[in-house]
Amino acid sequence: MRVLLVEDEQKISAYLKRGLEEQGYAVDAAFTGQEALDWAELVNFDLIILDILLPEVDGLTVCRALRRRANRAPILMLTARDALDDRVMGLDAGADDYLVKPFQLQELLARLRALARRATDAPKSPILLYADLEMDTRTRRVKRAAKPIELTAKEYAILECLVREPDRVLTRAEIAEHVWNYEDFNQSNIVDVYIRHLRRKLDDAFAVKLIHTVRGAGYMLSTHGDDETL
Ligand code: CA
């Protein structure tokens, strides 16, 4: 999941970025409202964390501008304590939820999981299911046919992309956009490398393969891929 973190206080931003990255999120940090708007033009973020108090262009203005541009990413507003007006205005501006500062990282993570669930048409469960595959988004544990599968953070993030949109071909660029932030993504074949690892862990021991290569297009999670998987 690719997250845009908009927070002008460097220390808070760095702390949140680290905490989110430890959970496998790919995070890009913006420090002003204008930077946030520029980032959102470039990248299709899965989630946006938006502080209200920002220099120059404030968070409410950013939120309204994003919605006017038809940006539909779930937005979590960060508001100051007791600023009830901010909360109300945040929701009116098009934010999906708000969190009052100061907050615990655990609470931020729980809110983000809830927003990510709401953003999809999938059943509103923290557990993602496809065929005999099971991903628990709270514990980040993965099982296939009830057998635990150990994945690295990036492998997990790629699999999550595929599981959230089963039976649809995702291009390498689409996958990369949701899994790496701008700083860390630089190799065009990196997605293929991780897919190879995922296949070994997820599919090798099973007759029914879940991850399929669609030549010239990308990858697809499916129980019935016509096998171009070679
Ligand atoms: Ca601030």
pLDDT digits (tens, 9 = 90+) for 134-192: 999 989 999 999 999 999 999 999 999 999 999 999 999 899 999 999 888 777 678 99
Determine the distance separating the centroid of ligand 1 and the alpha carbon of 118, expressed in angstroms: 26
With a cut of 70, say whether residue 8 has pLDDT above it.
Answer: yes
Determine the distance separating the centroid of ligand 1 and the alpha carbon of 95, expressed in angstroms: 17
Determine the distance separating the centroid of ligand 1 and the alpha carbon of 64, expressed in angstroms: 17
Please give the CATH topology (third level) of the domain spanning 2-119: Rossmann fold (3.40.50)
With a cut of 50, say whether residue 12 has pLDDT above it.
Answer: yes
- What pLDDT, on the 0 to 100 scale, is given for residue 229? 46
Q: Please, where are the H alpha helices in the chain? A: 10-22, 33-42, 59-68, 84-92, 105-119, 153-164, 172-179, 190-202
Determine the distance separating the centroid of ligand 1 and the alpha carbon of 8, expressed in angstroms: 5
Query: Could you give the residue range(s) of every CATH 3.40.50.2300 domain in the chain?
Result: 2-119
Please give the CATH topology (third level) of the domain spanning 127-221: Arc Repressor Mutant, subunit A (1.10.10)
Q: What is the pTM of this model?
A: 0.84
Determine the distance separating the centroid of ligand 1 and the alpha carbon of 103, expressed in angstroms: 14
Phi/psi region, residue 97 (left: phi>0; alpha: psi -120 to 50; beta: rest), is beta
Query: Could you give the residue range(s) of every CATH 1.10.10.10 domain in the chain?
Result: 127-221
Determine the distance separating the centroid of ligand 1 and the alpha carbon of 156, expressed in angstroms: 32
| Average pLDDT of the residues in 200-222 | 94
Going by pLDDT thresholds of 50, 70 and 90, the confidence category of residue 125 is: confident
Collect all residues with Cβ–Cβ distance below 8 Å to 100 and sequence separation of at least 6.
Answer: 79, 80, 81, 87
Determine the distance separating the centroid of ligand 1 and the alpha carbon of 13, expressed in angstroms: 9
